[in-house]
Each structure stands twice: as C-alpha cells, then as structure tokens.
Amino acid sequence: MITCVCLVVETASELLLVQARNRAKYYFPGGKIDENETLTAALVRELEEELGLAIAEHELYYRNTVVGEAYPQPNTLTKLICFSTTKDIDWQNIEPASEITDVQWIKKADEIRIAPAVLTWLQSEDNEKRK
C-alpha cells in the first residue's frame, strides 16, 4: 500500500486537482511521506514542491483518511490522509511546479478525469453528508 498526504480544496461542485507528468487522471495535490517526516511536514513540503505554496503546518487540519485504488499502478492500494487549510489563498492563480503539468478545478461529477482514490474520497464524503 502507498501512503500519501494530500490537500483537499473544494467548492460545492468542484475540486482543485493536479495532473502529474501528463497522466490522464487528476488527483489531490500532495505526495508520499519521507522517513522520519510528520504528516503535516510532508504535506507542507509537497505543496511547496508541486504548487509553490507556502503553507505552515499549523494552517493545516485533518479531514479524513480513505483507501482506494492507486493510479496509475494496477492492483495497488493507496491510503490518502486528507487535510484542508485555513490559509487564505488565491486558488484561481495557482501555478504548477516540479512534476505537476496542470492544475484545474474539476467538476466532482467528471469521474472520467478523476483518479480512483479521489473518487473513493468523494464517495466517503457523500456518505458522511447523508448521516
């Protein structure tokens, strides 16, 4: 299983997602945790690398954790440890950096473009809202 930390940024109908290395599917910004790194320190590092964002650890808060199919690795699971931020950021003007080739607001209903683990997150969020 691959374990990653990620940042969830959403509106009622859209998610802010990234595309790495021109892959077909988009997923949450974030990435793998280095050895001896805390979850929030890993996310701070990944957001700086991928999007040039400077977010402090205390500006992150835990949302939930989901396990879904890894993309693009077949027959592999990924655990997404999801956070959001309290920091006021102009999300409309985010520019990709490092291995990120695109950043887009994608409709939650546009399942064809969204990575499987993110779809699992969406389903878990829908289930929570119905409780």
Residue 103 lies in domain: 2-130
pLDDT of residue 99: 86
pLDDT of residue 130: 46
pTM for this structure? 0.93
CATH number at residue 46: 3.90.79.10
* Cα–Cα distance measured from residue 33 to residue 12, given in angstroms and rounded to the nearest whole number: 29
Per-residue pLDDT of the chain in tens (131 residues, 90 and over written 9): 999 999 999 999 999 999 998 889 999 999 999 999 999 999 999 999 999 999 999 999 999 999 999 998 889 999 999 999 999 999 988 989 878 999 999 999 999 999 999 999 999 976 566 44
Number of domains observed in the structure of the chain:
1
Backbone torsion region of residue 16, taken as left when φ is above 0, otherwise alpha when ψ lies between -120 and 50, otherwise beta: beta
Bridge pairing between strands 100-107 and 30-32: unpaired
In sequence order, which residues have a C-beta less than 8 Å from that of residue 59 and are 6 or more positions away? 85, 86, 87
